[in-house]
Amino acid sequence: MSEEPFKSTGLFKKYTIKNKIFQNREVLRHSYSPRELPHRVDQIDSIAVILAPALQGATPSNILIYGKTGTGKTATVKFVGSELENESSEFSRCRMVHLNCETIDTQYRVLAQIANHISGHDLKPSDRAKNTIPATGWHTDQVYSELKNVLEQAGGLQIIVLDEIDKLVKKSGDDTLYNLTRINSDLKNARVSIIGISNDLTFKDFLDPRVLSSLSEEELVFPPYDAIQLQDILHQRAEMAFLPDSVNEDVIALCAALAAQEHGDARRALDLLRVSGELAERESSEQVLEVHVRRAQENIETDTMSECVQTLPRQGKMVLCSMLLVSSAGQKVFTSGSVINVYRELAKEMDVEPLTHRRVSDLINELNMLGIVTARVVSHGRHGRTTEIYFNSPTNQIRTVVMNDPRLRECSILHPLL
């Protein structure tokens, strides 16, 4: 017996009517690369003057770029890279390979990704298949050797951008950087320059001095945007993203002001404006209003916090659970020492090798950087210094997300959190 043909119920018809808000919402996403970058002219020029010798066949200095999230680091580097690629000729060919080290975080994957990117874009089709490195299975020395072969065949200059380089260093050490900063001595027909991008100044503490001196030949710091600068950025994107008269000045000013409070984060400002528009669209409103911005702020804070907690490694979740346990006992402000004591008890119950005092402190700093807690060093004079910690907002959502981990839920020491 044949099945009846599927008949649509028209579920999506009411959602696909001509919208009254957006004309191109994609320009409000982080992945969009604008052709103009307001308030980043100085940084663009600084990177361009360092890379300019590449157009005369010279190898430019390696660069380390720092700045808080949403200060335009990645967008600026991509913009300068595109301009450099367009200016370069066959005799001084320059290419940029961009890697996100939050996901590509091992030496094998970094080297393989660079080689596969180059072989896919800069080699003749007849040479590409034989230069594809598998996701796993090779020895790292073999991957490095193949990368050198691919670079030699491609020739020219390859600028390797390691975005969130601190994630790579903290997970896999500095062997990858050691090899990449010295690869030019093994090349004859090609050259490599490195640009590292990081939100975290402290990651340099994990580097061997020889690696640091080679990697940080030039250093740039991107300052956060202020509210006026964020308004300019939002105006630029809003003109492309929204239909005429659907967003007024007050909405843009509010989005900019709220993001300026979050360390001048342009990504935050763009997210607020986009989600505000989506909320207005769902209500069939013809305009984005300030009430939509306020609701968007609540939605984003909840979603961001949940995602941060969910993606923490297990040791990070254990440290966070230790903080929650201390806080639930009535200590609204607590010390890193009390957290570490609870953490060690938790590690013992879970039969997990406890981290060192320094590594737990690093995890506390990471939670602070993510905005999950606030950690501040307080001096007690001759009695030394201690780190005081407290949660910025109610912990119900954090507790719910972190206790979804089955192994943590089984721990008797954490039952008060359930």
d(C-alpha 255, C-alpha 290), whole Å: 9
13: pLDDT confidence band, cut at 50, 70 and 90?
Answer: low
Does residue 386 have a known ligand-binding role? Answer: no
- Residue 269 corresponds to which tokens in the numbers above? 């400002």
Q: Given this model, what pLDDT does residue 130 score?
A: 56
Does residue 304 have a known ligand-binding role? Answer: no
Of 193, 265, 203, nearest in space to 234 by CA:
265
Give per-residue pLDDT as tens, 89-138. Answer: 766 789 999 999 988 989 999 999 999 999 886 555 555 555 578 888 89
Residue range 177-189: average pLDDT? 93
- Residue 70 corresponds to which tokens in the numbers above? 């949403």
Give CA separation, 279 vs 101, 297, 302, 371, in Å: 33, 11, 16, 25
Q: Given this model, what pLDDT does residue 18 score?
A: 61
Q: How many residues make up the chain in this entry?
A: 418
Give per-residue pLDDT as tens, 331-390. Answer: 889 998 999 999 999 999 999 999 998 889 888 988 887 778 888 877 666 666 778 898
d(C-alpha 413, C-alpha 85), whole Å: 57
Give per-residue pLDDT as tens, 140-178. Answer: 999 999 999 999 999 999 999 999 998 898 888 899 999
Domains of the chain listed by start with CATH number? 19-25+225-308 (1.10.8.60), 40-221 (3.40.50.300), 312-417 (1.10.10.10)
Amino acid identity of 334? F
- Using CA atoms of 294, 299, 304, 309 in order, give the dihedral in degrees to the nearest 10: 130
> Does pLDDT of 1 surpass 60?
no
Residue range 14-43: average pLDDT? 86
26: pLDDT confidence band, cut at 50, 70 and 90?
Answer: very high
d(C-alpha 204, C-alpha 194), whole Å: 15
Does residue 237 have a known ligand-binding role? Answer: yes
Of 415, 389, 391, 390, nearest in space to 403 by CA:
415
Q: Given this model, what pLDDT does residue 266 score?
A: 94
pTM of the model: 0.74
d(C-alpha 51, C-alpha 157), whole Å: 11
Give per-residue pLDDT as tens, 46-57. Answer: 999 999 999 998
d(C-alpha 106, C-alpha 112), whole Å: 10
Helix H, strand E, coil C: the string for the chain is CCCCCCCCCCCCHHHCCCCCCECCHHHHCCCCCCCCCCCCHHHHHHHHHHHHHHHHCCCCCCEEEECCCCCCHHHHHHHHHHHHHHHCCHHHCEEEEEEECCCCCCHHHHHHHHHHHHHHHCCCHHHHHHHCCCCCCCCHHHHHHHHHHHHHHHCEEEEEEEECHHHHHHHHCCHHHHHHHHHHHHCCCEEEEEEEEECCHHHHHHCCHHHHHHHCCEEEECCCCCHHHHHHHHHHHHHHHECCCCECHHHHHHHHHHHHHCCCCHHHHHHHHHHHHHHHHHCCCCCECHHHHHHHHHHHHHHHHHHHHHCCCHHHHHHHHHHHHHHHCCCCCEEHHHHHHHHHHHHHHHCCCCCCHHHHHHHHHHHHHHCCEEEEEEECHHHCEEEEEEECCCCHHHHHHHCCCHHHHCCHHHHHHC
Residue 278 half-sphere exposure toward CB, CA atoms < 13 A: 15
Q: Given this model, what pLDDT does residue 256 score?
A: 95
Identify the residue with better confidence: 58 or 15.
58
Q: Given this model, what pLDDT does residue 78 score?
A: 95
Does residue 225 have a known ligand-binding role? Answer: yes
Give per-residue pLDDT as tens, 204-261. Answer: 877 888 888 888 889 999 999 999 999 999 999 999 999 999 999 999 999 999 999 8
d(C-alpha 196, C-alpha 72), whole Å: 14
- Residue 116 corresponds to which tokens in the numbers above? 């596969």
Amino acid identity of 282? R
Give per-residue pLDDT as tens, 65-91. Answer: 999 889 999 999 999 999 999 998 766
Q: Given this model, what pLDDT does residue 180 score?
A: 95
Does residue 73 have a known ligand-binding role? Answer: yes
Identify the residue with better confidence: 59 or 394.
59
- Is 294 exposed, middle or buried (CB count within 10 Å of its CB: 0-12, 13-18, 19+)? middle
Given a contact cutoff of 8 angstroms between Cβ atoms, the answer to whether 336 and 375 are in contact is yes
Give CA separation, 281 vs 80, 278, 289, in Å: 36, 5, 11
- Residue 6 corresponds to which tokens in the numbers above? 């599927």
d(C-alpha 318, C-alpha 264), whole Å: 31
Given a contact cutoff of 8 angstroms between Cβ atoms, the answer to whether 88 and 122 are in contact is no
Q: Given this model, what pLDDT does residue 262 score?
A: 72
Given a contact cutoff of 8 angstroms between Cβ atoms, the answer to whether 274 and 25 are in contact is yes
